[in-house]
Amino acid sequence: MIPHPICVYALLVMGVGAIPTSASSQTDSAASSRPDSIRIVQDLDSAPRPEAIIRRASGPIQIDGVLDDPAWEVAQVISEFVQNRPREGYPVSERTEVRLLFDDDYLYIGAELFDSDPSGIISPTLERDPNTRDGDALGILFDTFLDRSTGFAFYVNPGGAVRDGQVSDDGRNANFAWDGAFEVRTRIHQEGWTVEMAIPFSTLRFDPGRMDQSWGLNLLRRIRRKNEDAVWAPMDRQWALHTPSRAGTLTGLEGIRAGRNLTVKPYALSTRPSGQLVDPLDRSLDWDTGVDLKYGITSGLTLDLTLNTDFSQVEVDQQQVNLTRFSLFFPERRDFFLENEGIFTFGDNSSFGERAGVSRQDFTLFHSRRIGLTATGDPLPILGGGRVSGTVGGAEVGLLSMRTRDAVDGTIPGESFSVGRIRLRPVPGLDVGAMAVQRSTMRASTQINRSYGVDANYQMGSHLLVQSYLAGTQGTGLDRDRAGRLSARWRSPLVEAMVLYRSIGDEFTPGVGFVRRRGIRHGYGTLGFTPRIPWPLVQQLNPYVQAHRFTNRDGVLETGTVTLGLDVDFRDGSEAGVLVREQREWIQSPFSLRGVTVEPGNYTFQEVEGTVQSSRARPFSTSLRAAGGGFFSGERLSLGWGILWRPSAHLLLRGEADRNRIEIPGAGALTANIYSVRAQVIPSTRLMTGAFIQYNGATEELISNLRLNWIHAPLSDLFLVWTERRDMASGMTLERGVSLKVTRLVSF
């Protein structure tokens, strides 16, 4: 049996209370040895926000990774970076210099990242959008409207691989699937490494009509072998770099314009499908073409049009083990819906590094994956559509309209989708918004589903955030019903606490959204501590308790959980965690998990889980997860193992295994295992090849995906993709396809 939660948590709290915080302990221990010239920032979040001046380039700049152009000599040198890990408030341990310039068309970034041990620079991969926490990196944030809420983020590793994204809602919505057009070169040398970058003003949305053209700015230097992060605008490690409210200010931009900002991106696609599940009439070679158009109506507002839209995916969804009675959530991967995706978010969103109790996988009013795909993930032909999104007069707005054709076999009628979204910020810290969504069939017997809602968030100071929404749905064959939420979260360097209440009606059915559980009242609470400790190997502890309580609409308990956990961050970047959970379930109707039936009744059971992740900064890393305990009236054992080998930035090999065994007396046993292998060969930042193979033991299916991606011009790709789905029990090929796709971005 699990000890009483209050007793266990009291012991954890007492242990945390006995540990000095790292800021005071490190300051004291180093006070006698540090030079008097070293300036220590005692409170990162309360420190003044810095300012920098950008100057106009006096001559041409060649982007070659060498800062030898005379124009760089007039740029201000930004060099005062402050650590937020591992030694909060201390200066960056390696000299760092960043310069900014601009001309009529580009914003230039030049960075010299000196290193006393260049052999220790870690450049783990050359793939686009890498996990930049795995190696050294330079991070850049521009808040182009200076609204302290939205922005553009760029992370560059020493090999020249870039992770870029749009952020909104003060970083709580971060869309790193967005790709911008820019030029970057990096160089590793005997004194460290260098970044030289040119970003067209047409890539960045801003208001050229503003008299005061000041932007928000923050910069990050990551030295991975030291597990060190240092930022220009001081902020606690709980914040990601892409948190605009914590940024400094960039001044000096004058006479800049966004340009015409018109791009056309046609595509050509050739596919040849085969397999037992493919209609014989559809097994011939097929060609298709289409086009996407993007136009900057204003500097902050963008029009996107698409005709004969191609939503073919170059990477298959990874299969998941579902051991619950609720639906799985699969993310959006299609490019058209990713531009300004944050504007269209409404629902249960969680941000960087927080325990929120809910996420988009619990409820979102608009989930673009519902457009152009069936419930089983099969594509539907899309005629086209359009979207207007961006900023107008300080308000974020989004309008979207799409139409699909009838399915080829006529079983699914064509549909029309319409979405409208607006978000305002009447006073600092407060944003309020509204959304409306409609889905309707295009036949005489029209079927309509409507969703609508209002939401509001209020950030009080640096630590307290209040969030809320109220939404409703109605439609053909549906009664009107509602969903609502109110939550408050406190997150400081030492304490994290949150309370949340949600209510979702039985008939609440957003036709273009996702709801995990209906007909519930949900209460959630968590309390945790994050002391930074002076132990030689450990950087931070995080003991916490969290509890969920789900009742039906009559107040009868359906699910209740209490979890006690402890997470540990080590100084080398490794992580470990352990938790114990007690769960209560009231099952009113039997449900089946792949032939194993859980009968109605009241159940109470416990589970213990442990996880270990070694530092991914090393060429070889591994992860392990083990969980075991009760499962309704039976028992469950779950094991997960992953290995990652990166012998160089050009090669990556990854293997994962997920094994699950459930035994319920009188109902039988269930084994659900998934194994996968991924290999990537990356000759350069413009040429990538990869293979992904996954075996699902429960369905006895093998899924294979091979692809080649050549970026032949900025935001222009050539894809060659081979995909197969095979039934291993019979040896039958269920589906197989070979696709060749070419896109070309043309700017005017």
pLDDT of the residue at 60: 93
- Tell which of 222, 251, 280 closes a domain: 251
Q: Which of 103, 175, 97 is nearest to 138 (CA)?
A: 97
pLDDT bucket at 322, cuts 50 / 70 / 90: low
**pLDDT, mean of residues 128-148:** 92
Whole-structure pTM value: 0.84
Q: Which amino acid is at 183?
A: E
CA distance 482 to 515: 12
If asked whether residues 243 and 335 sit together in one domain, one would say no
**Distance between CA atoms of residues 341 and 302, nearest Å:** 13
Whether 303 is in a domain gets the answer no
The last residue of a domain, from among 516, 546, 580: 516
> Angle CA(739)–CA(740)–CA(743) in degrees, nearest 5?
130
- Closest Cα to residue 560, out of 594, 580, 585? 585
Tell me, yes or no, whether 224 and 340 share the same domain. Answer: no
Within a domain: residue 398? Answer: yes
What is the mean predicted confidence (pLDDT) over 386-408?
87
Q: What is the pLDDT of residue 245?
A: 92
Tens digits of residue pLDDT in 625-670: 999 999 988 999 999 999 999 999 999 999 999 999 988 887 778 8
Q: How far apart are CA 157 and CA 620, in angstroms?
A: 19
Give the model confidence (pLDDT) of 684-717 as tens digits. 999 999 999 999 988 889 999 999 999 998 889 9
CATH code, domain carrying 131? 2.60.40.1190
Assess whether 94 and 233 both reside in one domain. yes
- Residue 422 or 285, more confident: 422
54 plus 175 within the same structural domain: yes
Distance (Å, rounded) from C-alpha 563 to C-alpha 233? 36
Which tens digit of pLDDT belongs to each residue from 521-579? 999 999 999 998 888 889 899 999 999 999 999 999 999 999 999 999 998 889 999 99
Final residue belonging to a domain, choices 465, 496, 516: 516
Query: Is the residue at 545 inside a domain?
Result: no
In this structure, are 224 and 338 located in the same domain?
no
My answer on whether 238 and 334 are in the same domain is no
For residues 214 and 354, state if they share a domain.
Answer: no
355 and 219 in a single domain? The answer is no
CA 516 to CA 510: how far, in whole Å? 11
Could you tell me which residues come within 8 angstroms of residue 409 by beta carbon, excluding any fewer than 6 positions away?
279
Domain range for 491 is 327-516
Tell me whether residue 80 is in a domain. Answer: yes
Query: Cβ(723)–Cβ(735) under 8 Å?
Result: yes
In a domain, 388, yes or no: yes
The answer to whether 707 and 314 are in contact (CB under 8 A) is yes
CA distances from 516 to 373, 488, 560 (A): 19, 22, 16
Same domain for 348 and 213: no
The answer as to whether 269 is a domain residue is no
Pairing of strands 363-364, 668-684: unpaired
251 pLDDT band, cuts 50/70/90, is very high
Distance CA 440, CA 447 (A): 5
Which element (helix H / strand E) includes 718?
A: strand 716-727
Q: Which has the higher per-residue pLDDT, 439 or 350?
A: 439
pLDDT at 375: 58
- What pLDDT is attached to residue 686? 93
86 lies in a domain?
yes
| Residues 236 and 341 grouped into a single domain | no
| 44 plus 151 within the same structural domain | yes
Name the helix (H) or strand (E) containing 29: helix 22-31
**Whole-number average pLDDT of the chain:** 87
How many domains does the chain contain in total?
2
In a domain, 185, yes or no: yes
Tell which wins on pLDDT, 578 or 447.
578
The verdict on 233 and 344 lying in the same domain is no
The reported pLDDT for the residue numbered 551 is 96
Stretch 325-351: mean pLDDT, rounded? 73
